A and B are shown apart, each in its own frame.
Chain A
Amino acid sequence: MTMLLTAPRRRRIFASAAAAMVVLAGGAHAALAAEAHQRGLPQFDATFFLTQLFWLALIFGTFYILIQGVAVPTLVRVLETRDSKIAFDIARAEELRNEAATVSAVIEDKIVHARDHARTILSLANREAENVATARLAMFDARISGRVRDAERRISHAREDALRELPAQVGTLVQEVVGRFTPGTAEPTLAAAAVQAEINERAH
């Protein structure tokens, strides 16, 4: 429909312009012929009508032709270039953003996996260390308890020995003491037997 109107419309505009000019020129000519030059409002002074119409037609016609032929196509082209460039830039930005999103998703994924892996390794190492520690602890424990048992055995032996020899020692001591403080002598066996009885009593 718009295509249908372009060329006939242009012809129509010029036709209407020409018609208007003719009408007004006729009116102006009539006014000019009828009245003399009057000192009224210059807008309505008919002397100048024809010249004004001529210059109006010339200048507006030239203006219109220039705009129709040159200005409008240039402007339309510039506006369209601008719009297409903006649309292209927006599309490209969208594209790049999507790409960045996918890449960052992949990276995120990898980071998570790496972290998991690290965690498993850490837990394994921990367990290893624990095992080694318990083993060594057990070894030391065994060694020490062995030594402790030996020492206790020695101590008990020594104690038994001491206890066994105690009565005889005490008898000898008593004899010595008595011999020093009294002129008589004591029986070492009596003192030893008394101490032995005391030891036996204490042991039960």
Chain B
Amino acid sequence: MSYEFVSGIVYSNTGPRGRPFVPFVFALFMFLLLGNLIGMVPYTFTFTSHLIVTGTLALVVFVMVTLLGLIKHGLHFFTKFIPKGVPAALLPLMIPLEIISYFIRPISLSVRLFANIMAGHTMLKVFAGFIVMMAGGMGLVGYLLGLLPFALVVVLIGFEFFVAFIQAYVFALLTTIYIQDSLDLH
């Protein structure tokens, strides 16, 4: 079922050419999803909230996509940075922009996942701290007031599950799009 989900993503973006890449995208998606979901269990360690981990994975994807483009298209690969239908006068502006937006891909990919997961867990910890502070410090009133951050923590946990799925999906989707970009627009 999840395999069909991932292969659906790959085939709808790349078409039948994407067949060799389905295992990799599938492995990536399942790895990140498992990582995110493991982190939702109390007292576990969320490895996807470490920049090293997500950075490495993003770098792997980036280097793979670049090598793919270079090997497939040769030096013609660098025409990717010249967008279509741009008047020649704007090219000195457009080309650096394109290059920058290309090289920022690994950074954006890794930081997106890392920041989402880390921020979610940090918020959970902060609000959990509030519960303890309120319930412990202020007596009976604190006990009752402590229900507010408790409710918030429950809501946040639900939200974190949602974010876990979404972020893994987005990572896999963007990987597929970059692969497609590399295969095609050169």
Contact = CB atoms under 8 A, between A and B. Distances in A.
B20 A2 contact: yes
A53 B56 contact: yes
B4 A56 contact: no
Contact of A8 (B21, B24, B50, B71): B71
Contacts, number: 92
* Secondary structure dominating the interface of A: helix
A13 B24 contact: yes
B114 A43 contact: yes
A43 B63 CA distance: 23
Nearest to A9: B20
B26 A43 contact: no
Interface in B18-35: 19-24, 26-27, 30-31
B83 to A, nearest CB: 25
The residue in B21, B30, B63 that gathers the most chain A C-beta atoms within 10 A of its C-beta is B63
Nearest to A65: B27
Interface string A14-46: 011101110110001000000000000001100
Given A23-B59, A24-B59, A53-B56, A16 B67 contact: yes
B77 interface: no
Contacts of A52: 47, 50, 52-53
A13 B17 contact: no
Contacts of A16: 59-60, 62-64, 67
Contacts of B16: 2
Interface in B105-121: 114, 118
B47 A56 contact: yes
B68 A9 contact: yes
Interface size bucket, A side?
A: 20 to 34
Contact of A53 (B4, B52, B68): B52
B19 A2 contact: yes
A177 interface: no
Interface residues of B, number: 34
* Secondary structure dominating the interface of B: helix
B51 interface: yes
B49 A12 contact: no
B3 interface: yes
Contacts of B21: 9
A15 to B, nearest CB: 7
Given A12-B71, A44-B51, A49-B52, A20 B31 contact: no
Contacts of A19: 59, 63
A20 B68 contact: no
Given A24-B55, A56-B53, A13 B30 contact: no
Given A9-B20, A24-B55, A71 B71 contact: no
A72 B56 contact: no
A24 B63 contact: no
B135 interface: no
Given A17-B60, A43-B49, A67 B23 contact: yes
28 contacts: A1-B17, A2-B19, A9-B64, A12-B68, A15-B67, A16-B59, A17-B63, A19-B59, A24-B52, A24-B55, A24-B56, A43-B50, A43-B114, A48-B52, A53-B52, A53-B56, A56-B56, A56-B57, A57-B56, A60-B57, A64-B24, A64-B27, A67-B26, A67-B27, A67-B30, A68-B23, A72-B26, A79-B3
Interface of B: 3-4, 16-17, 19-24, 26-27, 30-31, 47, 49-53, 55-57, 59-60, 62-64, 67-68, 71-72, 114, 118
